[in-house]
Amino acid sequence: MSVQPFPGSREDVALVDLLDRVIDGGVVVTGDIVLSVADVDLVYVGLRLVLAPAYAVDESIRRGRSRRPAPGP
């Protein structure tokens, strides 16, 4: 299968760049020191997760727990 280096139009690439930079770039005001441990950039991971706001994650976890079948006898 042939893989094109830049699938889609320049506009598509620009949109992906914009999304990526807005999520991964810019000024960070919290957490950026605390989460850097042993030269591993945990901030990157953490802020990706923040994209699902904390309140939504909490709800999601609660829903997941409520759907989980109860342990058998």
Partner 1 sequence: MLLLYAVVASPADPAVTQGRAGAPGVRLSRFDHGDLGVLYATVEEPPRGDRSEVLAYGHTLTSIAQASTALPFRYGTCVATAPELAQLVGSREQEWLAQLARLDGMVEVIVHASPSGQPLQASHQPAGRARMETDAPKRTLRPGAGRDYLTSRAAAHKALEGLAEQLEEAVTSYCAEVRRLRAKTEVRLACLVPRRSSTGLEEATQAWARARGDVDVVVTGPFAALSFTESRGS
Contact between 6 and partner 1 by CB under 8 A: the answer reads yes
Contact between 28 and partner 1 by CB under 8 A: the answer reads yes
Q: Which two tokens stand for residue 16?
A: 């992906």
* Binder of partner 1 out of 39, 40, 46, 51 (CB under 8 A): 51
Contact between 34 and partner 1 by CB under 8 A: the answer reads yes
SS (H, E, C) 28-72: CCCCCCCCEECCEEHHHHHHHHHCCCHHHHHHHHHHHHHHCCCCC
Residues of this chain that bind partner 1 (CB under 8 A)? 2-6, 10, 13-15, 17-34, 47, 50-53, 55-56
